[in-house]
């Protein structure tokens, strides 16, 4: 899944929000994720500027920190070119290069490609006033997949298990992912007492490989219902949505 973040950039121009401020990303990648297989040194990705105006684009890869400047980001992947201008309706090819740094051999690793687009200043704006132009950062996942993992990616969904716990007075849904692949959820829903409740979405809904992730359930009420159904939507390597369901275990002491 591609995730978006907004940044306010102080520039010279009109006193109000720029007419070029955008509510959606104008730079669109040709796919929603990249898979690096062990042995591949680089991958290519095409970007298209769907805006009706030119933009300056900066690209970099980080490990999902989200709050670091590009020069302070650390990743085994490098995006080239790092800065370029892209005309409206034009295409630009990116190269994502793996620098050879050591990565785990028993599971996938994930990095985030950042595509930061800055709209132009309005040409007829007053010279001595200021405005806020909204720039957009589009983030997409880059997975590094070692060779000879013990199972296929398609088997990951069937290996997931869920349980309901109470921590610090709050109900949580815990996903246990015993597979060597990231479980990328588009949505998670919990059904109990005849109603279904969606798990609040966050910037990163992935359950990491060979690990667990907890998802807060907010005002969830277990009651006497021990038949807890979890419905989920996963995103596969091709960016397709796959629906599934499971039964969540409940600690006997909570019943």
Spell out the domain ranges in the chain: 3-145, 153-254
No. of H helices and E strands in the chain?
Answer: 1, 17
Write phi, then psi, for 34 (nearest 5 degrees).
-120, 140
- 157's enclosing H/E stretch is helix 156-159
Distance between CA 135 and CA 22 in Å, rounded? 8
For the chain, 255 residues long, give each residue's pLDDT as a single digit of tens: 455 544 433 332 222 222 333 346 789 999 999 999 999 999 999 999 999 999 999 999 998 876 667 777 789 999 999 999 999 999 999 999 999 999 999 999 999 999 999 988 765 555 544 445 567 888 899 999 999 999 999 999 999 999 999 888 888 999 999 999 999 999 999 987 778 888 988 878 999 999 999 999 887 777 666 778 999 999 999 999 999 999 998 865 554
Q: Domain 3-145 is in which class? A: mainly beta
**CATH fold of the domain at 153-254:** Immunoglobulin-like (2.60.40)
**Domains 3-145 and 153-254 belong to one CATH topology:** yes
Residue with tokens 């973040």, as numbered in its chain: 5
CB 172 within 8 A of CB 166: yes
CB 84 within 8 A of CB 91: no
């Amino acid at each position: 899944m591609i995730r978006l973040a907004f940044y306010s950039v102080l520039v010279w121009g009109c006193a109000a929000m720029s007419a070029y401020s955008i509510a959606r990303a104008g730079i669109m990648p040709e796919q929603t994720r990249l898979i690096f297989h062990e042995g591949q040194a680089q991958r290519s990705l095409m970007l298209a500027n769907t805006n009706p105006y030119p933009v300056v684009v900066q690209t970099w890869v980080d490990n999902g920190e989200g709050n670091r400047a590009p020069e302070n980001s650390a990743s085994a992947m490098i995006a080239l070119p790092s800065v370029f201008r892209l005309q409206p309706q034009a295409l630009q090819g990116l190269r994502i290069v793996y620098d050879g740094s050591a990565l785990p051999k028993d599971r996938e690793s994930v990095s985030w490609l950042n595509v930061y687009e800055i709209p132009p200043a309005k040409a007829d704006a007053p010279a001595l006033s200021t405005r806020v132009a909204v720039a957009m950062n589009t983030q997409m996942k880059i997975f590094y997949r070692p060779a000879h993992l013990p199972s296929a990616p398609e088997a990951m969904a069937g290996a997931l298990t869920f349980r309901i716990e109470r921590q610090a007075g709050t109900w949580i849904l815990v996903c246990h992912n015993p597979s060597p692949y990231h479980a990328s959820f588009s949505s998670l829903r919990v059904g109990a007492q005849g109603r279904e409740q969606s798990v609040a979405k966050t910037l990163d809904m992935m359950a990491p490989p060979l690990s667990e992730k907890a998802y807060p359930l907010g005002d969830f009420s277990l009651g006497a219902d021990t038949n807890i159904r979890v419905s989920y939507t996963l995103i596969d390597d091709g960016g397709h949505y796959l629906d599934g369901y499971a039964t969540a275990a409940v600690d006997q002491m909570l019943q």
